[in-house]
Amino acid sequence: MAEFILRRRFKAQPQYAAPIDREGLGRGAQFLFNPAVGPIDLATGRAWALGGDAAVTVSPHGKAFNFDGNGDYLEFTGYPEINGVVGTFAAWFTRVGGAATFGHIYLVESTGAVYHQVHPGGTIYFGGSPSSASTPGWFNSINRSLVLTSDGTAAGTKCYIDGKDSGLTWAFPPGAWPAGSKTLRIGNYGGGSSWDTDGSMLSVVQESRPWAAAEAKAFHESQGKALFKAPPRRLWYQAAAAPGGSAVFRSTLSALGARSGSRQVHNR
């Protein structure tokens, strides 16, 4: 059987149709970044602004968003669909640099009421709510992942570091994102350089649903690439022999988003 197999492309994403793999990572993505295609949210098609010296740079594992700890950030105003307290934030870092006065802040909305931060002392703030204990060894390291996830309750709030449960607990659930349009920043809080991130992010995602331990592990072990996996698509197939013995080739136009009388073939 003759066929052409092409991988999915990520340069022109349909709105609200982020690619996912069969394990389900990313299926509830509210924003999703692959630095290889720049500051474009693959979940919605929104183009974020790069601020300060933030840039896409080459890392040992591929292109990454680089923040030098001095006023760098990604920013967008909008996202009314991000609200409430249930959800997941995950980022994979090729490099975690030194802490500013208040550590690193990875995601924040403009009022500063809701933010995800790792404090120099090892306390992790999820939605502005501090963990009940601290964890050491986050700063000045390489090849790390951070997953903050909550079902909306304090008991169901967890932090996974490098794909493993950190054991941290929260006395209160994360703060709720404000309703309506809001300004989101990744890598910096406008309150000053004491909040800035020094590090490089290989991938980053905000999910509308909580992740389980297996998803945090898959995210870490794949270096975040599990968010972008997609099956190959068969563009052509060989149909049954036509009268006279000649073969007929029909396009599976559904793979290209078109409709016709051709039979659709789904390659799993």
Terminal CA-CA length for the chain: 16
In the chain, the amino acid numbered 268 is R
pLDDT tens digits for range 128-149: 999 999 999 999 999 999 999 9
Class of domain 13-227: mainly beta
| Position with higher pLDDT, 232 vs 254 | 232
| Structural contact between residues 169 and 178, judged by C-beta atoms closer than 8 angstroms | no
For 151, half-sphere exposure in the C-beta direction (CA atoms, 13 angstrom radius) is: 5
| Structural contact between residues 71 and 105, judged by C-beta atoms closer than 8 angstroms | no
Domains of the chain by residue range: 13-227, 232-268
Q: Does the pTM of the predicted model rise above 0.85?
A: no
Q: Among 202, 186, 223, 190, which residue's Cα sits nearest to residue 56? A: 202
Name the region of 132 (left: φ>0; alpha: ψ -120 to 50; beta: rest). alpha
6: buried, middle or exposed (CB in 10 Å: 19+, 13-18, 0-12)? Answer: exposed
State the pairing for strand pair 249-251/73-78.
Answer: unpaired
Q: Supply φ then ψ for residue 153, to 5 degrees.
A: -115, 160
Q: Give the tokens for residue 97.
A: 């640099």
Three-state SS at 213: helix
Q: pLDDT category, 192, cuts 50, 70, 90?
A: confident
Mean pLDDT value of segment 11-29: 55
pLDDT tens digits for range 88-131: 999 999 999 999 999 999 999 988 999 999 999 999 999 999 99
Mean of pLDDT over the chain: 82
pLDDT tens digits for range 168-191: 999 999 999 999 999 999 999 987
Cα–Cα dist 151/174, whole Å: 10
